[in-house]
Structure 1
């Protein structure tokens, strides 16, 4: 399954990119599992997406929880609780 990822605000600054396409391994089925997979990259990824960090998630531009199921071609976004300007 291939998905598109977007990172905003401090998450984008920490991980050094605003977006990427990712081919998921077979065991990753939810947004929460995806977050864990990305955190396993280590370094800034582990810090920015750590379970204790307040990070909001959206699936196809709708706010979602960690248990939201992923789908091929979906867009998943990660961002801090407060963004704006």
Structure 2
């Protein structure tokens, strides 16, 4: 019974994740950071460069979505493991 409860809880958590192919496919070049957050939620990690910002949703070494912004607009995005 405990195993079944654990499996249901894990399924619910994974179903609630915004880290999925459907949300990835909503991303478009030119979107603002605010628009991306509306689709994916808050980023797990962002790094500011000289002229750009790179944000990661998920685990950079595993399943993730990476979005690069220049002047606050999406210029590049990719995914791994979705």
What is the TM-score when the length of structure 2 is the normalising length?
0.26
Mark the structure with the bigger radius of gyration: 2
* Structure 1 or 2: more helix by fraction: 2
Structure having greater relative contact order (Cα 8 Å, sep ≥ 6): 1
